[in-house]
Chains A and B, each alone.
Chain A
Amino acid sequence: MDENGKKSLAMVVMSGDFDKLTGAFIIANGAAAMGMDVTMFFTFWGLRALKKNVRTGSTFFGKMVGLMYGGGIEKSHPSKFAFGGMGRWMFNKMMKSHGVQSLSEMRDLAVQLGVSLYACQMSMDVMEIPQETFIDGVQDPVGVGFFLLKAQNADIQLFI
C-alpha cells in the first residue's frame, strides 16, 4: 500500500530487450488500469526504453556505447531471434497484424496512465545518457534508495 492507500507495484527494468520491455510495459499498463500506483525504475540497458532516438556519449567509451546501443526504444532487439534487426522487424510485423501496440505506443500509454518512470542516476552517469535525451514524462533521476523505499511499501515487486 502506498501513502494514498492504493495498491502499488514497483518494478526494476534492467533489460533493454524488446521482448522484456514489452512484458514490463504490459504489466505496468495493466496495473495502472487496475488502479495501482506504478513505479518503473530503469537501470543499465533498460535506460534505452526512456530515450528519444538520439546518439549519446561524451567520452570515447561513452560514444562507443552511444554508437553500439544508441537510439530509442524502437531500436531494441528481441533477446532471441535478433538476427541483426530482422527479428525486431518480424516481431513488429507480427504484433501489428495481431493488433498489439508497438513498444513506443505502450510507453506513451504508460505516461498517459500516470505510471511513474524513473531513471537510475548512476547508470545515466556511467552510460553517459543525460536526462535531456529522455522523452517527456520521465521523472528526475533517482538512486537505489528511492527505489527501495518504493519497493518496501509496494504490494508487488518485479525485476525485469
Chain B
Amino acid sequence: MSDETKVDLELDLKGLLCPLPMVKVSQNINNVPVGGIIRAVATDPGAMADIPAWAQSTGNEVVSADKQGSEFVFLVKRVK
C-alpha cells in the first residue's frame, strides 16, 4: 500500500542521531503542501518513538513507520 502513496519529498536521515531525525522532519514539513507526504529513512531506532511523538505534538500524521532491515522508513503527512 505504501508503494502507491505519492511522495512529495524524500529525506535521507541515515546516520543521524537524536534529536536530528525529528529536527530534520520538522524543518522540512513546510516544504510539502498540506496533505503532502514526506518519506524519511532513518537508521536511529529511537526515531521509531520520536517521529510519532513529534507528529502528535505538532498535529501532523505518521501514515506508516516500518522497519526494513536496519532502516526505519516513515511516511509523514503534513496535516496543517
Contacts and interface: CB of A to CB of B under 8 A. Distances in A.
B18 A33 contact: no
B32 to A, nearest CB: 16
A12 to B, nearest CB: 20
Interface residues on B, range: 10 to 19
A109 B23 contact: yes
A30 B16 contact: no
Given A7-B57, A33-B54, A34-B53, A98 B17 contact: yes
B56 to A, nearest CB: 9
A35 interface: yes
B18, B50, B57, most chain A CB atoms within 10 A: B57
Contacts, number: 36
B17 A30 contact: no
Pairs of residues from A and B, 8 with the lowest C-beta to C-beta distance, nearest first: A30-B19, A33-B26, A34-B57, A33-B23, A35-B58, A99-B15, A33-B22, A100-B17
Interface of B: 15-20, 22-23, 25-27, 50, 53-54, 57-58
Given A33-B27, A33-B54, A99-B15, 14 more contacts: A26-B19, A30-B19, A30-B23, A33-B19, A33-B22, A33-B26, A34-B54, A34-B57, A34-B58, A35-B26, A35-B57, A98-B17, A99-B17, A101-B20
